[in-house]
Amino acid sequence: MAGGLSTALISLLFAAIAATSPTVDFVDSEYSSVTPSSTSAAASPNPTVPYASDDPNGVLWLPSSDIIPTPERGALGASVLGPQNIPIDLMNADLLAPPTTDNGDIPNVKWPMGLSHNRLQTGGWARQQNIEVLPIATEMAGVNMRLEPGAIRELHWHKTSEWAYILKGNVQVTSINPDGQNFIGTVGSGDLWYFPAGIPHSLQATGDTPDGAEFLLASSEIFDTGAFSEDSTFLISLDWLAHVPKEVIAKNFQTDISAFNNIPSKELYIFPAIPPPDNQQAPESPQGTVPHPFTYPLSQVPITPLNGGSIKIVDSTVFTVSITIAAAEVTVEPGAMRELHWHPTQDEWDFFLQGNARMTLFASSSNARTWDFQAGDVGYVPAPYGHYVENIGNTTLKFLEVFRTNVYQDVSLAQWLALTPPELVKAHLGLSDETIATMKKTKQVVVGPA
């Protein structure tokens, strides 16, 4: 009887297998058509893992769109019934209606300089971004500063280095180094200056343009510590002479105390003055001038043209004094993108100069979030998060990538795959030989529309 029961069970088992065999045959035939032996086919995918979705996930609107934005994408979401800040939602389409490829959580990486408190002075203004407003930006911070013609950013120095990019106008900078060698130079739109930590310097807008100058300060003004505050620099007035007895000052300079009757009692910070002459010369120093200039004419450096844009890279290999900051000036044409990539060890601080951008950050553990950026916004990418920057507007996108390092580095996803054995790539991604063959073995940096 036991044997009969066993036979019956076996018969039922074979019947069940036979009943399901058409489905098994279908799956087998589907995967057998993409076997690794085919030179044009992809490797066999793992049937336990579904394919990535082909759902459309483009940006749904731009800041200039004449709509009332809603948090809806396809069948997902619903309209807003309560109060709505429409201008904010128009500028952040991928926060209100994120792509379905977003997953998990990443701290906020966007800060508009327009939301920073502005410090107004006679002669200009300054506003900053640091970890108080963008907590994820622990490695770098930034300041946006404006000087009217002739206005001076008071003689000062910092605990950290100062890197600057001129947005508009001309600025004359002066400095000396610990060896008593001095420097004077003028920089214009698209040019840079850099002062190492502790090196005293001044900034003065020239009279070359009626509007004076505006610039971006990075790493110690952008300051290379995210906790930096532009309000805590060492100023010659507030932090030095205003707190030294006048008889000590007179003794130091070997002169009469009355010579210092007019020194200010508090900081000057930004103040008006007569614009410097174009041919301003530094006082002749017995020690000579600095061996490495504190300015760099990036505006005069030819661009490296790319498929879909261009790039200029500047680091200590060409701007020798800039030993803690490296940067790239990137342009991306409409529909093109800064390729999928990451930076091995350094956080990336971005400043968007013009256009409309979309950026997704890919962290570990399947976390991914997408943000939209406009001119005047700061972006931040922790190392070594994968990311891209796509031009979603109708005009050229231009932005700065800035890093706290001496040499610019990045890793291209496409180059990595192109230089990995094809069978290994196919086993991971199910790509065909033809697709793998199109991958570039050199970095594309910016790629044009497909």
30 annotated to a ligand binding site: no
- Please say whether the dihedral angle defined by the alpha carbons of residues 34, 35, 39 and 43, taken in this order, is positive or negative: positive
Mean predicted confidence (pLDDT) in 12-17: 40
If you write DSSP's letter for every residue of 61-101 in order, what string do you get?
Answer: --TT--S---SEETTEE----S---HHHHHH-HHHHS--TT
Residue-level pLDDT at 48: 64
Overall size of the chain counted in residues: 450
Mean predicted confidence (pLDDT) in 10-38: 37
Distances (CA, A) of 129 to 196, 228, 303: 21, 9, 29
Residue-level pLDDT at 27: 32
Taking the model in full, what pTM does it have?
A: 0.86
16-20, 80-84, 298-302, 413-417 — which is least confidently predicted? Answer: 16-20
Residue-level pLDDT at 15: 43
Average predicted confidence (pLDDT) for the chain: 88
Residue-level pLDDT at 241: 78
148-162, 232-246, 287-301, 310-324 — which is least confidently predicted? Answer: 232-246
Residue-level pLDDT at 279: 87
Q: What is the pLDDT of residues 134-147, one digit of tens each?
A: 999 999 999 999 99
Helix (H) / strand (E) containing 16: helix 2-32
- Distant-in-sequence, close-in-space partners of 25: CB < 8 Å, separation ≥ 6: none
pLDDT band at 21 (very low <50, low <70, confident <90, very high): very low
By CB atoms closer than 10 A (0-12, 13-18, 19+), residue 64 is exposed
By CB atoms closer than 10 A (0-12, 13-18, 19+), residue 261 is exposed
Give catalytic residues, as residue numbers: 401
Are residues 349 and 128 in contact, defined by beta-carbon separation less than 8 angstroms? no
Terminal Cα-to-Cα distance of the chain (whole angstroms): 70
Is the pLDDT at 17 greater than 80, yes or no?
no
Q: What is the pLDDT of residues 296-319, one digit of tens each?
A: 999 999 999 999 999 999 999 999
Is the pLDDT at 271 greater than 90, yes or no?
yes
Which pairs from 433-438 meet CB under 8 Å and 24+ separation? 433/39, 433/40, 433/41, 434/40, 435/42
| Angle value at C-alpha 212, between 206 and 216, nearest 5 degrees | 100
Q: What is the pLDDT of residues 98-134, one digit of tens each?
A: 999 999 999 999 999 999 999 999 999 999 999 999 9
117 annotated to a ligand binding site: no
Residue-level pLDDT at 239: 60
Is the pLDDT at 212 greater than 50, yes or no?
yes
The 10 Å Cβ neighbour count of residue 337 is 24
Q: What is the pLDDT of residues 376-395, one digit of tens each?
A: 999 999 999 999 999 999 99
Residue-level pLDDT at 231: 45
pLDDT band at 44 (very low <50, low <70, confident <90, very high): low
423 annotated to a ligand binding site: no
Q: How far apart are CA 229 and CA 231, in angstroms?
A: 5
Characterise 6 by phi-psi region: left (phi > 0), alpha (psi -120 to 50), beta (else): alpha
pLDDT band at 448 (very low <50, low <70, confident <90, very high): very high
428 annotated to a ligand binding site: no
Tokens, residue 185: 């130079």
Q: Residues of the chain with pLDDT > 70: what percent? A: 85
- Distant-in-sequence, close-in-space partners of 133: CB < 8 Å, separation ≥ 6: 111, 115, 116
**Alpha helices (runs of H) in 243-370, residue ranges in sequence order:** 246-253
284 annotated to a ligand binding site: no
Residue-level pLDDT at 243: 84
Is the pLDDT at 220 greater than 50, yes or no?
no
Q: What is the pLDDT of residues 3-13, one digit of tens each?
A: 444 444 334 44
The ranges of the chain annotated as CATH 2.60.120.10 are 115-296, 301-447
Residue-level pLDDT at 235: 66
Is the pLDDT at 85 greater than 60, yes or no?
yes
Residue-level pLDDT at 226: 40
Residue-level pLDDT at 230: 47
Residue 300: what residue type? Q
Which CATH number is associated with domain 115-296?
Answer: 2.60.120.10
Residue-level pLDDT at 264: 85
Closest by CA position to 294, among listed 424, 183, 442, 155? 183
Tokens, residue 410: 């990045």
Which CATH number is associated with domain 301-447?
Answer: 2.60.120.10
Beta bridge partners of 267: none
Give the CA-trace dihedral at 332, 386, 225, 271, to 10 degrees.
20
Residue-level pLDDT at 16: 41
Instruction: Report the largest interatomic distance among the alpha carbons of the chain, rounded to a whole angstrom.
Output: 124
Residue-level pLDDT at 49: 77
